[in-house]
Structure 1
Amino acid sequence: MDWLADVAAVVGLGWYAVLWALGLLGCRTARSRYRTRPRSPLASSSDAPGVSILRPLKGLDTNLYENIESTFIQEYPNFEILLSVADEHDQALVIVRDLIAKYPHVNARIIIGEETVGVNPKVNNLVRSYREAAHDILWVIDSNISVAPGTLARSVDILTRSPSQNSSGKRVALVHHVPFAIVHENCLGAAVEQAFLNTNHAKMYLAINTVAIESCVVGKSNLYRRSDLERVDGSLKPKTVNGDSLAGEHGLPAFAPFLAEDNMIASALWHELDLRHDLSCDTANNAIGRMSLADYVWRRVRWIRVRKHMVLAATIAEPFTECLVASSIAAASLRHLFAISPWAFFPIHLIAWLWVDFDVYESLAGHPVPSGKCAWQFMSAWFIREFLALPIFLVAIFGNEVVWRGEKYRVMQAGRVTIIRMYRKEPRCILTKDD
């Protein structure tokens, strides 16, 4: 049976080489795309297409004032902002009204009251803004995200360019932005989340989207056309050029049964319309507030449980892409094939892996990983994240219930969810800028 061990060792080294190829590709992409951010000609063009910015709000998220303000100060001549809340007593309204008063020249209005079209509260909150938006191009951006002033112009540049300018030769239907965590509270869970998002997650996210053989989108900040979304229904079945029969739900309401509606929208545009996605050279700056280590763990559990019902094979493979598991596989393979001691291999692997992760961080942040005491804190959080990756996966894979925004859901086939506990909503009404 020695030949089986030989084959296993060769496969293990092959897998390790693939992971390094992806890691280096992510690092190279971060360097080439994010270290220079040119100003778009659309920033001052009189022909810039109109954009409706949709921001769903609920409560006082960390850094909320600055997050929302970042959309008011976009260097772009033709946009409106629709700020939606489900409850007329929502605390976010105070901040929103202050910003509307501060920027009277910006076309911004508030929409209060959701329309229940499914179990996803974000979709319910957005539906009326989606329908009332004045423009075809929509920019849906979460309340805990801030962006640079040139983000919108650079994103529209990508969305509107001709298919011949794209490497795939296909039209870009969705422009997204890699999440980059910014910590506002000195607590362990937030530090671990930051270490995860700004290194390993960013590296793999960039690599997968550079290879672009499948849809991979996080919906913190996405641009797409309403006219495209109106042609898809979440079935992931290809549509004709002119669109199939519009029987049944299409557009944003069709994605209300899914908890990860952002990922499903991206997948639908990819598979149903055979269109593609692209990243701009901007980040979605994710403000992280007080987060305990338990909060971090259960957040990761939640999204693994959602993803396993959407992309099972990729979810099962995930533990084998992590630093410690991958290095253990490579060390065992090297020892079997070449009698190389794991104790000689591990330090080299760890230093190289850390260098790539930290280089990705530097490219996205625009500055190196903090030095001195902050560097040790960041590195400690990085190691904690790596050691927790496998235990979190094992907890997540054996379960189907998740908690999100105070509600409990059961995840079902294809990522659809059913709510286990529900609360009643307030009556609906609309406020405009003049109110």
Structure 2
Amino acid sequence: MNLGVSLSWIAAVYWVGATTILVTSVVATILQPYIVGRRARRRDQPPVSIVLPLKLLEDGFERTQESAFAQNYPQFDVTASAVETDSPAVRKIREIFGRHTETPTRLLASTARFAASPKVDNLYAPFMQAENDVIFMKDANVLLEPDALAEHVRQLGDDVGLVCAIPYCARLENFPAHVEAAIINGPHARILFLASCLGQGHGIGKIMLFRRSDFLRAGGFDAISHTVGEDNALAKAMRRIGQRPVFSHRPVRQELGARCFYDVYQRQLRWSVTRRNDELISFLLEMNTQAFPSLVAGWLAAPLLGVAPLWGVAVTAALWFTLETLLSLAKGWQLSWTAPAVFIVREAVMLAVWVNAWMTNQVVWANGKVHARAAARPAPEEG
């Protein structure tokens, strides 16, 4: 068997494997709410402290933050935290608090400076000073449905230490936003939904629901301060004390608005570098979830079927694009007439990010550069 034939057979095996993952993950994405929803058995509703870390005043901030107050839940309070004592985001959250006097609220100034991630520094005060043991943290661009808190709490069983939710992107207002949504709603979401159906959970920091008592028992901030991937570090810490991380049966809506390509690239690079540092095997396997390697495999394997290589590429591209488009329609996710161009640009961005992630630890967070694994100091003592 000559080298060309050997490459064709290797490519064919790869193509079959990648296509199987594609089809299986598409089916899992549709079935996950039903499968995982049956595992949500908690019926009581303990008091919850909702934590809102603040940084930038982005488009849609007011709408997403107000959604925290619209929860159909018997008892909760809301705490916001920010490094700046006066900023556009801080002024806006004060306005929002003023409209919801029926809910206990606090605005804390974050003075801690010990972690690799500025977000972890910002979370120190609200986590440690929360009124309740059960804490629900949400990012600023997450829009909660009125029953979201109640539904996520249903997953927080005695053996569950962390509940996260798989995000999907909405309110896409320009081409870069559609590209980012194609990444998050596409390969990233599909694999997470598949993992969830198989009973696996990981840290995804768009929302995090946990008991502070478990968090402290798992090492507290010392367990998550060494990385910008604090969500994944928290999931690992919970596993070490026998508490499972799980994905909720309810995804969360992440509003993108208008994006620029620089921000899209830098955000994807930060997450990719974090996975390379903290989940190397998953990072290595990411190429199996991207269409580009399958297009190459289709080109190389096509001669085994007696067809031209271009036919192998065309059939592979059509299969990936059609299945992902049908999935978006089934889930009610936003699509655009530019979807074919979005698909092509997405694959180029994902490949560039994956390659670049091998060569740097400098990542961008909230318009500033940080080291993905900077040496963290011990967390301060809570006085």
TM-score (norm 1): 0.78
Question: Following the alignment from structure 2 to structure 1, what is the Cα–Cα distance between the partners of residues 194 and 58?
Answer: 30
Structure 1 residue 358 corresponds to structure 2 residue 355: no
Superposition map of 1:255-274 within 5 A:
255-270=224-239, 272-274=240-242
CA, structure 1 residues 256+178, in 2 after alignment: closer, same or farther (shift >3 Å)? same
Runs of 4 or more above 4 Å deviation: 4-11, 34-38
Cα RMSD (Å) = 2.9
Check conservation: 1:137, 1:223, Cα contact below 8 A.
yes
**Unaligned ranges ≥5, structure 2:** 377-383
Check conservation: 1:42, 1:48, Cα contact below 8 A.
no
Which residue type is aligned with residue 404 of structure 1? W
What residue in structure 2 maps to residue 386 of structure 1?
347
Structure 1 residue 16 corresponds to structure 2 residue 15: yes
Superposition map of 1:370-409 within 5 A:
370=335, 375-409=336-370
Give the count of matched residue pairs: 375
**Unaligned ranges ≥5, structure 1:** 163-170, 233-249, 420-435
What residue in structure 2 maps to residue 61 of structure 1?
58
How far apart are residue 18 of structure 1 and its match?
3.0
How far apart are residue 8 of structure 1 and its match?
5.2
CA, structure 1 residues 362+222, in 2 after alignment: closer, same or farther (shift >3 Å)? farther
How far apart are residue 228 of structure 1 and its match?
1.6
Question: Following the alignment from structure 1 to structure 2, what is the Cα–Cα distance between the partners of residues 389 and 118?
Answer: 28
TM-score (norm 2): 0.87
Question: Following the alignment from structure 1 to structure 2, what is the Cα–Cα distance between the partners of residues 318 and 33?
Answer: 21
Post-superposition Cα deviations, 1:298-352, rounded to whole Å, max 9, x if no partner, equal 32223222221222232233234311212312441342x4434333333332222
Superposition map of 1:200-239 within 5 A:
200-212=187-199, 215-232=201-218
How far apart are residue 6 of structure 1 and its match?
5.8
Superposition map of 1:4-153 within 5 A:
9-34=8-33, 47-153=44-150
Which residue type is aligned with residue 160 of structure 2? V
How far apart are residue 255 of structure 1 and its match?
1.4
What residue in structure 1 maps to residue 309 of structure 2?
342
CA, structure 1 residues 37+119, in 2 after alignment: closer, same or farther (shift >3 Å)? closer
Which residue type is aligned with residue 224 of structure 2? F
How far apart are residue 70 of structure 1 and its match?
0.8
Question: Following the alignment from structure 2 to structure 1, what is the Cα–Cα distance between the partners of residues 281 and 190?
Answer: 20
Question: Following the alignment from structure 1 to structure 2, what is the Cα–Cα distance between the partners of residues 78 and 202?
Answer: 32
Check conservation: 1:308, 1:397, Cα contact below 8 A.
yes
CA, structure 1 residues 393+264, in 2 after alignment: closer, same or farther (shift >3 Å)? same
Percent identity over paired residues: 24
The structure 1 residue matched to 2:374, chosen from 397, 417, 422, is 417
CA, structure 1 residues 228+10, in 2 after alignment: closer, same or farther (shift >3 Å)? farther
Which residue type is aligned with residue 255 of structure 2? A
Post-superposition Cα deviations, 1:105-142, rounded to whole Å, max 9, x if no partner, equal 22222112332232321111111111111222211111
How far apart are residue 35 of structure 1 and its match?
8.5
The structure 2 residue matched to 1:306, chosen from 274, 277, 283, is 274
Question: Following the alignment from structure 1 to structure 2, what is the Cα–Cα distance between the partners of residues 6 and 224?
Answer: 53
CA, structure 1 residues 37+22, in 2 after alignment: closer, same or farther (shift >3 Å)? closer
What residue in structure 1 maps to residue 379 of structure 2?
none
CA, structure 1 residues 258+159, in 2 after alignment: closer, same or farther (shift >3 Å)? same
- SS of 1:182 mapped into structure 2: strand
CA, structure 1 residues 25+302, in 2 after alignment: closer, same or farther (shift >3 Å)? same
- Farther-moved stretch of structure 1 (136-145 vs 381-390): 381-390
- Farther-moved stretch of structure 1 (255-264 vs 281-290): 281-290
Check conservation: 1:138, 1:223, Cα contact below 8 A.
yes
